[in-house]
Amino acid sequence: MLVHICCSVDSHYFLERIQEEYPDETLVGYFYDPNIHPYAEYQLRYFDVSYSCQKLGIELLEGPYNLEAWLKKVKGLEHLPEKGDRCTVCYDDRLENTVLKAIELGHDKFTSTLLISPKKSQDKLAIIGANLEKLHGVEFIFKDYRAGQGQMIQGQKVKEHSLYRQNYCGCLFGLEPQREYQDKIMDEMFNPISNQILPESIESRLELYHKRDDLEKKNIPYKIIKQKFLNYRLLTAMVKIKKEVIPSYFLCYSYLGKKKTSGRIEYERDDIAYLNKDEIKLISIDIFNDIAGTNYRNVKSMMYSPPTFQAELNLRQKITKNPYGLSPIIIVDKLSEEKYEIHMDAKIYDDVKEDII
């Protein structure tokens, strides 16, 4: 039996039940989910499904990530609500691809873990599965494992095995209205040019779940916990002198409420320059290298190969004695007596992240 898998949260308990009900079947998992966006989120979910399938002793195959083809199929349906026609097209695509893969592999049965997801329409899935069964002659296995205490048990399994519990369905068109409703920044879509791993980014979660796997392999006890914290994203930032943009690097948690200001260096202390407005501090790249123990040639090289986010917090602690202070700290190639024009748009917001203890 080929089992289409959408994510480990939905698949782990579903697969356990299928194994119990079909003990004579050889189950093969099939991860085909081109709707998941961005690609880093797709990688994280596939990684976690691999972890789950290994625990269950189930072979896992990965389907193509044909995002562009998927986007063409849902064109014109982008703004429809969850469980609407866009989702129906998505179900069609994933189940059709699964049944064709089942035929290719010589399987005579197929099913999908979409059936247990509370965000999916079982009625639509049942109709699509039945139509594909009639068309291709491969039996569609419909199972309602949500019934009774199914969803409660499913949640217990997720905690028991420390599975990744994503906080949106998967596609961009579901993510956007969900974040708008929550009045939260859509930080899943941030991809800094520096490739710095940001707090509670998809990349940071992937690091965490790799660490989970390492601890399990070494048989070291652990627990994944959640904790509230103040998150930060820099959207845009720029420094001008005489209307010319100069290379600049803004340390994390630099914040300017009005997004634009200007001023001159008022005084210097311990090689740190203080502007006469908005608590802004300027540091030359040479002084930054002394403080941070780095050897950047210039600010541009720092922009494309920055310190870690934690290293930036440590630098804030050294400079201001407050790692989460919001005063802008800007690194430039060299200090100038000319007037600085500073543009910055940054977001600071309450967030929750996972940690391993």
210-249 tens-digit pLDDT: 999 999 999 999 999 999 999 999 999 999 999 999 999 9
Query: What is the model's pLDDT at position 82?
Result: 83
Q: 2-182 falls under which CATH superfamily?
A: HUPs (3.40.50.620)
Does residue 178 register a pLDDT over 90? Answer: no
Percent over 70 (pLDDT), the chain: 100
- pLDDT per position as a tens digit, 120-177: 999 999 999 999 999 999 999 999 999 888 889 999 999 999 999 998 889 999 899 8
Q: Tell me the Cα Rg of the chain.
A: 25
Q: Where are the domains of the chain?
A: 2-182, 229-356
Q: Give the max Cα distance, the chain.
A: 80
- Residues 103-111 have a mean pLDDT of 98
- Structural contact between residues 11 and 5, judged by C-beta atoms closer than 8 angstroms: yes
